[in-house]
Structure 1
Amino acid sequence: MSSKRRTKSTTTPKTEQPRATAEALVERGDPKIFVAIVVWLVIFGAIFFSFKLPNFPVSRADVWQRVPWDLFDLIDPPNPVPAVVSSWGNLSQRVPPLLVATAILLGAWATGQLLLRVVCPDPNRRTSERTFFAFALGLSAWSLITLVLGWFGVLSRELFGGLLALAVLAELGLRIFRRKSAPPNEDADDHWRNYNLWLFIIVPFVLCMLLGALLPSTDFDVLEYHLGGPKEYFQAGRIEMLPHNVYTSFPFGTEMLTLLSMVLLGDWYWGAVAGKVVLMSFGPLTALGIYAAGSRWFSTRAGIYAAAIHLTTPWTYRISTIAYAEGGLTFYLFAALYAVMIGYERFHAAAEVRVPWRPFLLAGLCAGSAMACKYPGVLSVVIPLGIAALALPFTRPGERAEQRGGAIRLGLIFALGTAVTIGPWLIKNTIETGNPVYPLVYSVFGGADWDADLNAKWKHGHSPNTYSPLDLAEKVMDVTVKSDWLSPFLFGLAPLAFLLKSKRRLVIWLWAYVGYLFLTYWIFTHRIDRFWVPLIPVVALLAGVGATWSARLSWRILWIGLFGVVSLYHLTMISGPLSLCGYNAYLIDYPLARQHTEGYYSPGLPKLNRELPPGSKVLCVGNAVVFAAEFPNVYNTVFDYSIFDQWFADKQPGVPAGEWKLRPADEIRRKLHDAGITHIYINWAEILRYRDAGSYGYTDFVTPARFAEMQRMGILGPQWPIKDSSGYGPLDDLSPTQLADVQKWVPSLERSIVMPPENKATAVYQRYQIFPVVKSD
């Protein structure tokens, strides 16, 4: 290829793909500003590291003290454990889920590349940007493909595998054809070659994410419905309404990728692990988008800094390894924002008045995908970016009628894209329940298997309990400096982005979006910390920009040194033995990992898995975490109708649930027989948690006395003996409300047993009971 042709193929029109350079954006400043910024960082860092971790009995200072020892122990454990427990040799066990995840990601990339050529083609698009949007479209497409085929009961490994392979072959074939017919665009995004130090720092974090995602999950919500729902779909062979688990009527955009993984692997348990790896990819892919955006609008250096800040933030690791929906929501929020920014850039760079509609179609597809991950996406992505689309034509002088026409066109294009990716979920809910956003907005749409009492309980459990200025200040502190899994670089460096005068307008708009995301979190949600996590990539981008405020060598040396040292702190949090970011036995033997985690939040589950006779079916009371259950079961979540009440209570109008009587013995026996129930498992630990002050509440009909009465009626046999200490909980660990509840049940659940590790007599309560159902003659 001639040098002349090479130059032509890599030249980028200013209206399409501007290449920001560090030299063009850097503000050199004066020594006083340098000193002021150093003082700011020292003060911010001192405040940040002065806090104790809200969710753990340690402080950040304690973690610092452990840094060298914990990291050395990762390489050379002081007391080597048997190889069967933890060994690099156990990595071979990870191969099947890793291969399935790789196949899905490769197929999603290929599908997205094909779609991107249609939705928003740009021959001058950089590799990083093209790859980012290809994954955004491809992963969303495969989520929808799984939904549609699953809805029709076609969960076929052969079909899914064939479609994935077809997408890859089509993309590779198209690339080969284009390479022969046209000179290649040699934009290889090779800027990282000049930043090998940053790669050296972030690679351990990505490796930890991968190894963490390859472990069984231990989170309550994940086990209850993020993985539990796909498991039930997989076992049923189709996607259908689960009236006992209201959470599975949410949009399940990310969960469909988990279901796809289960189908391809042919196993619900290890398929869920493969699905976790697919969902883990949202973290690095978001960082790729941050890098691409930073490079496009600020500088390559800003993009690299921002991506590194995002990847080393413990929140990114935590969300990436737990299989929360926030990983997908965060990814699609940033993708939609990125697409809107492209639209604005093209509009203001173009000579003609015509509005650029393709970026807003892409933005709409990503916004709908964000809402398909989690309902709050309508507040955090669809509404604000939809307004941005409508506002675009008015940001440049012109005829008012023409501006209104442009706004209408862009609004419709954005709405069309949004409808394509969230619409199928709304249609599914409308068919199943009559409410497109079930169980929300019950007062408007109603909903099957739902009533005013359940709706009131739901709203009470998912609404803020105060709007006081004090709480607002507290949440600002949580989001900026206090949360366990923050990085000090996020809000320590992001304000410095204002120093870049040439990009101050864009910086102000990005900060405004961050403020909007925080306020919607505080005003409209029940303020669980992960609900504000989607603002992190926007702050990371600003922080990366802030880190480029000066071209001074002294600043670069200081910044790189700070980043390297603090990264050791973050790596200790992520991978250390305190497990501050979640389960991290990276090299554990897989069967042992399954055994270790199957009893999380459900202490009786391991015993049931081991000791139930073949053909058993269990009614679970107070226990909705049944993902690890290897037996047929019936359960309900705390926000669904209580199956125990529906089956066994002789309800009387106006009589409190605690005073209801049991139905006649023959009627109860018949119900148990018709449902095939052979055992009843009661999780008292969870029931106590639900009945605690400020929690969701639990039906008063369920008490130990009720099961004792069922024994006297000849319905239940003797309860299974519990010899393992894990079946008991110290009374000292209970709150006053929980302790009062247990004491009402005396002597049903109270015991005094010898508990490890002190091996002394301890007052405890029985955490669960298991009763066999007496067989009818």
Structure 2
Amino acid sequence: MNLFREHPSRYFGYLTFTSLILLVLAYFIYHKPVTTASLVTILDSIWSITIAVSITSIAGGLGRKCLQVTSLNPLIRLSVQAGFGFGLIGIGVLIIGSLGGFTKLTAWLFLFAGLLVFHRQISGWWREWSGLSAFLRDLDGTSKAVGLLITAILCFSLFTTLSPPLKFDALVYHLSLPQEYIESGRMFFLADNIFWGMPQTGEMLFTWAMLLHSDISAMLLGWIWGFLCIIGLLGYMHDKFEARAAFIGLAALLSGYSISSGLSWGYVDWLAMYYGFCFLVAIGEFYQQRNRFWLVSSAAFAGYALGTKYTSGILVISGFLLTILWINADENIGRRLRRSLVWIFTAFLFYSPWMIKNLVATGNPFYPFFIPSGAMDAFRLGHYHGVPVESIWYALTLLPVRATVIGAEASPGYGASIGPLLLGFSLSAGLGWRKMEAERQLTISSALWVVLPGLAAWIIASRFSDFLLQSRLYFVIFPAWTVLAAAGFFNLEQDIFYGVKLGWVAGVITVFVLGLNVFELGKITVQQGSIQTDLGLQSREQYLDHNLGWYHQAMVGVKNLPTGKKVVMLWEPRSYYCSPSCSPDEILDRWLHMRHSKPGNSEITNDVILQTWREQGYSHLLFNKFGADFVQSEENDGYQPQDWSSLNRLVGALSVEQNFGSAYYLYSLSP
């Protein structure tokens, strides 16, 4: 049988289809819309996303295995399960690193093992995402507008996340610590960086991602933590109030530039917020169900939060107060006290790996704080604690208002822009309390038990140290604050003032404020050149030059020194782009410490300082003149005029090998 004669049109169709493919291929041989550099960059970004999503999938599957809950809606459930999984993985990576297992082979083996062992749970966890569609149906105009603006924030922050890291603390320790571990193949005590003593759940997860691929994969984990927190909050507030209030609550949180922009920084602030949300869910479920499972889960999330950032230990305070004063308050005090002690023990059990790490390395479980230990002697400890902010207590009680109004990103004091809507809406959370449904009262009460102790801790801590005034140190309470903002909007929405619906006006204000933040975030994303870098239109080095200026040039200069050369840095704490050749001045106290650390407070001479550096193996000095000038202008860091004159004599006696725009000087320490 001749098939061509029987079905000529079919074969003619095959021929024309083949011709189409050949023509398309031929066309793009001569018309190349994507250069090789762009294609490589885009493929690298896709691979980075794949790595981060794979780690997240394992966290979701592991969490689903441990937290088999059905009482939560899908968005809350998937968020809480992944959060629990991330905490366990962080502890696991710490153990592996302590045993010398920071190798690419180990990282890949555990990735494949995790995907294989938990494949059923991972599949079930991903199926939960289908529940998102139910939350996006039948939205009103305000909710749609807010949803689009939040999507824009997520997209702009993702563009920046896919570009090389720029932010200060990421270059000081969030990414530089994992880099040091990877270079050595193990977890070890870093005397050169006191931030080693901080809890490192986030940094352990960054280490795994960087072993698998790159720093971009690590920063994508930070973006994913924020996304999971946002998704979980959406589901939680939708359950407790309704869709419109849920979107307004998210808008209140993301209207703060530092919060929305922080998705892309490679920090652990969003991980702390994520655990703050998980804790809020668990403690609410325990109150309703009186189930020990949720009691243990809430303690675990508090322990994970403390294992992410010391100041997130606020949740431990909240948990203690909740379990002894609020939950089962009709029981006798002895029983409540026992339950609280068990809760605290459980929280510290999940936090304990970080205490053990510090105790073994330095003898201080809370290194680098409280007692001299490790590289933190009494002199450095006193310098790092800073100075009290104010002595006027009534002014400190206005801290939430002041943090909202005058707090600005990268500015002295609060150091973060948190937006006006969190505080503005949350003030109305208690309206109509007596007529409020019991479940809504429970939601607001549980959020207040987190926010109020958190604000009290913030106020008290900032009284004793200017360092502890920073808003982002307390981001762990912001998810609960977000719930209060949603409750406040929900209450306002019910009121009519002279025929005007306050909910409608509040919605317009929210869209306006959030829209301005989206504009600012988008503008800065474009100015930084993140999109151009992601598309391969400019190189990584060009991006870093554009955004980091002379600092990046100085780092290139250090990296280009002959092999074996070591550089000691003054007034420059960021070591990520020059590791392992450089030793950072991580808390800007190296010069002061070198001159005054001798017993009896006698000054150490320049000759002794130079000899000490040479004996420690340093061949060069990198001097950040702008940093030194800034510290000198502050006039409150314990420096005396003779300290600065001694510095001028020291650098004047050294030969300049490289001058980076008169901002950085690279000196030879050769005699």
**Which one of the candidate residues 175, 182, 186 is aligned to 1:227?**
175
Q: Distance in 2 between matches of 1:147 and 1:596?
A: 36
Moved more, 697-706 or 356-365: 697-706
Match of residue 624 from structure 2: 683
CA distance in 2, matches of 1:186, 1:316: 27
Size of the aligned set, in residue pairs, is: 603
Task: Give the 5 Å matches for 1:96-107.
Answer: 96-107=47-58
1:507 aligns with 2:449: no
1:12 is aligned to none
SS in 1 for 2:562: coil
Partner of 1:612: 561
CA distance in 2, matches of 1:578, 1:159: 36
Deviation at residue 458 of structure 1 after TM alignment: 2.1
Q: Distance in 2 between matches of 1:178 and 1:512?
A: 30
In the TM superposition, residue 558 of structure 1 has moved relative to its aligned partner by 4.3
Identity %: 18
Instruction: Determine if the alignment matches structure 1 residue 280 to structure 2 residue 231.
Output: no
**Pair 376,512 (structure 1): closer, same or farther in 2 beyond 3 Å:** same
Deviations 1:721-755 (A, max 9, x none): 53x6xx23xxxxxxxxxxxxxxxxxxxxxxxxxxx
Residue number in structure 2 paired with 1:389: 323
Distance 1:704 1:511 in 2: 54
Q: Secondary structure at the match of 1:415?
A: helix
Residue 491, structure 1, aligned to residue 423, structure 2: yes
With the length of structure 1 as denominator, give the TM-score of the two structures.
Answer: 0.70
**Cα drift, residue 123 of structure 1:** 2.8
Choose the corresponding residue for 2:532, options 566, 570, 587.
587
Q: Output the CA distance in 2 between the equivalents of 1:441 and 1:178.
A: 42
Choose the corresponding residue for 1:206, options 154, 173, 193. 154
When residues 605 and 298 of structure 1 are mapped into structure 2, their CA distance, relative to the original with a 3 A threshold, is: same
- Give CA-to-partner distance per residue, 1:113-162, whole Å, 9 cap, x none: 11213xxxx23432112101111111111211111111111013333333
Distance 2:335 2:401 in 1: 44
Name the SS of the counterpart of 2:430 in structure 1. helix
Deviation at 1:509? 5.2
Q: 1:473 to 1:386 in 2, by over 3 A?
A: closer
Aligned CA distance change for structure 1 residues 295 and 436 (closer, same or farther; 3 Å): same
Aligned counterpart, 2:369:
440
CA contact (8 A) 2:426 2:486 kept: yes
Distance in 2 (alpha carbons) for counterparts of 1:88 and 1:199:
31
Partner of 1:622: 571
**Residues 655-674 of structure 1 mapped to structure 2, 5 A cutoff:** 655-657=602-604, 660-663=605-608, 672=614
Q: CA deviation at 1:597?
A: 4.4
8 Å CA contact 2:444–2:483 kept in 1: the answer is no
DSSP-derived class of the 1:619 partner: strand
Q: How does 1:507-526 map to 2 (within 5 A)?
A: 507-508=444-445, 510-511=447-448, 513-525=450-462, 526=466
Q: Distance in 2 between matches of 1:594 and 1:104?
A: 27
1:692 has 2:655 as partner: no
Aligned counterpart in structure 2 of residue 424 of structure 1, from 330, 348, 353: 353
CA-to-partner distance for each residue in 1:696-742, whole Å, 9 max, x for gaps? Answer: 45693861312444x5xxxxxx31253x6xx23xxxxxxxxxxxxxx
Shift of the 238–547 alpha-carbon distance from structure 1 to 2, 3 Å rule, reads same
2:632 maps to a residue whose letter is R
Distance 1:641 1:433 in 2: 20
| Corresponding residue of 1:241 | 189
Match of 1:303 among 241, 246, 250: 246
CA distance in 2, matches of 1:664, 1:106: 51
Q: 1:634 aligns with which of 572, 576, 583?
A: 583
Q: Distance in 2 between matches of 1:164 and 1:652?
A: 51
Residues 342-491 of structure 1 mapped to structure 2, 5 A cutoff: 342-347=285-290, 356-378=291-313, 380-392=314-326, 394-396=328-330, 400=332, 404-405=334-335, 407-409=337-339, 411-412=341-342, 414-442=343-371, 446-459=372-385, 461=386, 464-469=388-393, 471-472=395-396, 475-484=399-408, 485-491=417-423
Selected match of 1:129 from 76, 79, 87: 76
342 and 530 in structure 1: CA distance in 2 versus 1, 3 angstrom threshold: same
Structure-to-structure mapping, 1:154-303, within 5 angstroms: 154-173=101-120, 190-195=134-139, 197=144, 198-265=146-213, 271-303=214-246
Structure 1 residue 675, shift from structure 2 partner: 4.7
Aligned to 2:67, the other structure's residue is in SS state helix
Local SS of the residue matching 2:530: coil
1:311, distance to aligned residue in structure 2 (A): 3.9
What secondary structure sits across from 1:703 in the alignment?
Answer: helix
Change (3 A) 1:256 1:698: farther
Please state how far the C-alpha of 1:627 moved relative to its aligned partner: 0.9
Among 83, 91, 95, the alignment partner of 1:144 is 91
Letter in 1 for 2:388: P
What is the distance in 2 between the residues matched to 1:278 and 1:511?
29
| Aligned mates of 2:397, 2:124 — CA distance in 1 | 59
Counterpart of 2:389, as a letter, is N
Query: Can you list the C-alpha shifts for 1:197-218, whole angstroms capped at 9, x where unaligned?
Result: 2533321111112112222232
Distance 1:97 1:605, change over 3 A: same
Q: Which deviates further from its counterpart, 245-254 or 628-637?
A: 628-637
Tell me the SS of whatever aligns to 2:568. Answer: strand
Structure 1 CA distance for aligned equivalents of residues 635 and 292 of structure 2: 48
Shift of 1:189: 6.8
3-state SS of paired residue (2:54): helix
Q: 1:572 to 1:301 in 2, by over 3 A?
A: closer
Q: Is 1:546 the counterpart of 2:488 in the alignment?
A: yes
Whole-Å separation in 2 of the counterparts to 1:621 and 1:248 = 19
Structure 1 residue 92, shift from structure 2 partner? 4.1
Question: Is the 2:594–2:609 contact (alpha carbons within 8 Å) kept by the matching residues of 1?
Answer: no
Match of 1:720, SS state, is strand
Whether the 8 Å contact between 1:312 and 1:567 is mirrored in structure 2 is yes
**Paired residue secondary structure (1:770):** strand
Report the secondary structure of 2:634's partner residue: coil
The answer to whether residue 279 in structure 2 is matched with residue 320 in structure 1 is no
TM-score (norm 2): 0.80
Deviations 1:459-481 (A, max 9, x none): 2x2x5332314642663332333
Q: Aligned partner of 1:366: which letter?
A: F
- Measured after TM superposition, the shift of residue 237 of structure 1 is 1.2
- Deviations, residues 403-457 of structure 1 (Å, cap 9, x unaligned): 6336524541x23431332100000101011110012221xxx423333222221
Question: Which residue identity is paired with 2:210?
Answer: M
Distance 1:583 1:255 in 2: 25
* Distance in 2 of aligned mates of 1:560 and 1:426: 46
The 8 Å contact of residues 598 and 606 in structure 1, kept in 2 or not, is answered as: no
CA contact (8 A) 1:228 1:627 kept: yes
Residue 97 of structure 2 aligns to a residue whose secondary structure is helix
Matched, 1:769 2:665: yes
Amino acid aligned to 1:320: L
| Distance in 1 separating the partners of 2:578 and 2:90 | 26
Which residue of structure 1 aligns with residue 13 of structure 2? none
Q: 1:242 to 1:165 in 2, by over 3 A?
A: same
Contact 1:595 1:606 in 2 (8 A): no
Residue in 2 aligned with 1:113? 64
Decide whether aligned partners of structure 1 residues 434 and 339 sit closer, same or farther in structure 2, where only a CA change above 3 A counts.
same
CA distance in 2, matches of 1:661, 1:616: 21
